[in-house]
Amino acid sequence: MPTISKTADIQTVITTFEMTPGTCQDLLDALTDAYDNFISRQPGFIAAGLHVNDAQTRIANYSQWKRREDFMAMLRSEEMRERNRQISALCRSFEPVMYEVAATFD
């Protein structure tokens, strides 16, 4: 389960995908398969979530990793490079960005 905490010593990656409503489900299926069968099994993976906007034109992905290096190793793997080529064909753009938690609110 994802934990959002300023004191947690983890790496957070938020990726946004932009696509058309016609490719939203295909992209969601590809991302779900990537998490089920590859990403979640990589060293350092903690948790992730996929969020779809009402218009089905954006997907936001929130993932947590023990270390930045764990995320980068997964991203550079041959399998993920191939998956990202397929994912790229289903969307206009996507951009993973690493973040540090600056504040939390309950």
Give the pLDDT confidence of 51-62 residue by residue, as tens digits: 999 999 999 999
Axis-axis angle for helices 21-37, 78-90 (nearest 10):
170
Can you tell me the mean pLDDT for 23-27? 97
> How many Cβ atoms from other residues are within 10 Å of residue 17's Cβ?
25
Contact at 8 Å (CB) between 18 and 58? yes
Whether 55 is covered by a domain: the verdict is yes
Closest CA to 27 of 73, 63, 60, 68: 60
Q: Which of residues 46 and 7 earns the better pLDDT score? A: 46
Average pLDDT in the chain: 94
Number of domains forming the structure of the chain:
1
pTM, whole model, 2 decimals? 0.91
pLDDT of 7 over the 80 cut? no
Whether 104 is covered by a domain: the verdict is no
Whether 32 is covered by a domain: the verdict is yes
pLDDT of 6 over the 90 cut? no
Whether 105 is covered by a domain: the verdict is no
Residue-range definition of the domain harbouring residue 93: 11-99
Beta-carbon contacts of 87 under 8 Å, excluding residues fewer than 6 positions away, are 17, 27, 30, 31, 34, 94
